[in-house]
């Protein structure tokens, strides 16, 4: 081939390349880039913001200077509680919240001073039961390909310490409760990350063994695997007691009694509620039809327990139920998207806390439904709903939750949220049946609509 022919072919290739690039309208071409660059005017105001952002956090610069004052901390109706708990570096907010609801009841019912249930005791059985849930799930799906959606979800989520209220009800029903003094926290229960990594590694290893084993071998293999998991948990969390002695003191510090209990008899004597049937889970999910009952597949803590079942209601109906419970001095399990517009120092959740619009000269117009649909918002943290403020016109103005981040966090260990924030970022509530109107309870007669385990709206609360 002569030189002229090579030059012609090269020229043709170059033209072909430009032609392909010209047809690729999905990319950022030179003209588009020029338009984009021209959009930034580099005004003194824009340069000032850019300079500030170079050395300061967005959250600090977005603080709304017109909303610096602490809100009024008076509440017209408040549940009586004593003491603030601390989940430390763990994802057990769901467990702390559920036990805090029961703790408030026990203190009021038996005139106790400061008291806590052992979170570590139920954490132990939670992780053991979740291990069984995972291993049995692997057995149940053994005929599916390893890249099947459910198998993939199981392998991605073998275990964690997050959860929701059905974990509280199923675990307590099966294993009872003990005072914190009987099984206190350990370093690993307060700092769960490394323990979860070890457990996940073992469970994934076990999954491969079970998938390749004969069906007749599954039960024996699973028992052997759970025995190994149990040993790891004992080393990390301690041995769960099967019986214990406990001395009860009243609110004046006077001794009332000393007796020996099992975890089940302790719960029966001091609480004694049917947790699995006395509570109703309610959700405000604007993406799905209200007045319907939904069930989330595999969203449970115990294999032979209950999937998460909830009624989807408009926010105003949920407020009616919450107010009725608070007025009767009964705290509730509550969860929300806690990180949004959160002033950690004041302990307030208020959409006016941060002004991102002014800082970036833009708008954020999505509503609650659109935020959920686009994964911009979802329930992330459980707390105990304990107070509401209702003005003279009967309008709710603010709410308060007891948190589990220690007494020095937020407002005396609590968080205060405006009613507007409640509307936008509250998602779940668990209330006793007696506070739920009959028309809502009747909805439970519906056949639940099953949703997949990987639905993003139902990630475990941590």
Average pLDDT value for residue range 243-248? 97
Q: Residue 257: beta bridge partners?
A: 248
- Show the beta-strand stretches assigned E in 9-167: 77-78
What integer pLDDT is reported at residue 1 of this predicted model? 53
Domains and CATH numbers, the chain: 77-458 (3.90.70.10)
Please confirm, yes or no, whether 403 is among the known catalytic residues: yes
pLDDT band (50, 70, 90) for residue 17: very low
Average pLDDT value for residue range 20-33? 78
Contact predicate 110/173, CB 8 Å: no
What integer pLDDT is reported at residue 3 of this predicted model? 47
What integer pLDDT is reported at residue 2 of this predicted model? 52
pLDDT band (50, 70, 90) for residue 456: confident
Please confirm, yes or no, whether 218 is among the known catalytic residues: no
In tens, the pLDDT along 359-398 reads 999 999 999 999 999 999 999 999 999 999 999 999 999 9
Say yes or no to pLDDT of 14 above 50.
Answer: no
CA angle (417 as vertex; 412, 422 as ends), nearest 5: 150
What integer pLDDT is reported at residue 459 of this predicted model? 80
Residue 18 Cα distances to 11, 29, 50, 413, angstroms: 11, 12, 37, 63
> Per the residue annotation, which of 132, 157, 312, 403 is the catalytic one?
403
Say yes or no to pLDDT of 318 above 80.
Answer: yes
- Show the beta-strand stretches assigned E in 413-457: 414-418, 426-432, 449-451
> Per the residue annotation, which of 93, 100, 170, 236 is the catalytic one?
93
Global pTM value: 0.91
Please confirm, yes or no, whether 110 is among the known catalytic residues: no
Task: For residues 24 and 427, give the distance between their C-alpha atoms in angstroms, rounded to a whole number.
Answer: 43
> Per the residue annotation, which of 120, 336, 353, 381 is the catalytic one?
381
Nearest to 248 by CA among 340, 115, 148: 115
Q: For CA atoms 62, 379, 370, 352, give the dihedral sign.
A: negative
């Amino acid at each position: 081939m002569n030189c002229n022919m090579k030059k012609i072919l090269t020229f043709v290739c170059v033209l072909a390349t430009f032609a392909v690039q010209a047809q690729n309208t999905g990319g950022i071409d030179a003209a588009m880039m020029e338009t984009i660059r021209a959009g930034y005017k580099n005004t003194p105001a824009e340069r000032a913001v850019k300079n500030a952002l170079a050395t300061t956090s967005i959250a600090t610069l977005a603080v709304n200077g017109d909303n610096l004052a602490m809100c009024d901390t008076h509440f017209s109706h408040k549940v009586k509680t004593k003491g603030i708990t601390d989940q430390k570096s763990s994802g057990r907010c769901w467990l702390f919240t559920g036990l805090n609801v029961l703790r408030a009841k026990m203190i009021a019912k038996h005139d106790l001073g400061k008291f806590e249930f052992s979170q570590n005791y139920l954490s132990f059985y939670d992780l053991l039961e979740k291990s069984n849930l995972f291993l049995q799930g692997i057995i149940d799906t053994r005929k599916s390909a390893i890249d099947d959606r459910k198998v993939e979800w199981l392998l991605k989520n073998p275990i964690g310490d997050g959860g929701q209220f059905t974990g509280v009800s199923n675990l307590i029903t099966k294993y009872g409760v003990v005072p914190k003094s009987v099984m206190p926290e350990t370093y690993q229960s307060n700092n769960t990350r490394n323990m979860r990594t070890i457990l996940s590694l073992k469970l994934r290893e076990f999954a491969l063994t079970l998938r390749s084993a004969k069906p007749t071998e599954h039960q024996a293999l699973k028992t052997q695997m759970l025995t190994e998991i149990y040993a790891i948990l004992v080393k990390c969390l301690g041995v769960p007691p099967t019986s214990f002695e406990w001395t009860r003191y009243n609110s004046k510090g006077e001794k009332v009694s000393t007796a020996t209990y099992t975890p089940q008899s302790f719960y029966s004597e001091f609480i004694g509620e049917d947790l699995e049937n006395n509570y109703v889970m309610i959700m405000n999910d604007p993406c799905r039809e209200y007045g319907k009952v939904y069930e989330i597949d595999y969203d449970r803590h115990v294999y032979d327990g209950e999937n998460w079942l909830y009624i989807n209601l408009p926010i105003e109906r949920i407020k009616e139920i919450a107010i009725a419970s608070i007025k009767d001095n009964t705290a509730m399990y509550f969860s929300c998207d806690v990180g949004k517009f959160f002033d950690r120092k004041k302990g307030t959740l208020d959409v006016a806390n941060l002004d991102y619009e002014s800082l970036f000269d833009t708008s954020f117009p999505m509503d609650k439904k659109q935020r959920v649909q686009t994964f911009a918002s979802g329930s992330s943290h459980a707390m105990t709903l304990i107070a509401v403020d209702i003005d003279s016109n009967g309008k709710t103005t603010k709410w308060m939750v007891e948190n589990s981040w220690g007494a020095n966090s937020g407002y005396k260990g609590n968080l205060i949220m405006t009613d507007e924030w409640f509307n936008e970022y509250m998602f779940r509530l668990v209330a006793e049946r007696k506070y739920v109107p009959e028309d809502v309870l009747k909805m439970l007669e519906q056949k639940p609509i099953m949703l997949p385990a990987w639905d993003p709206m139902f990630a475990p609360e941590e």
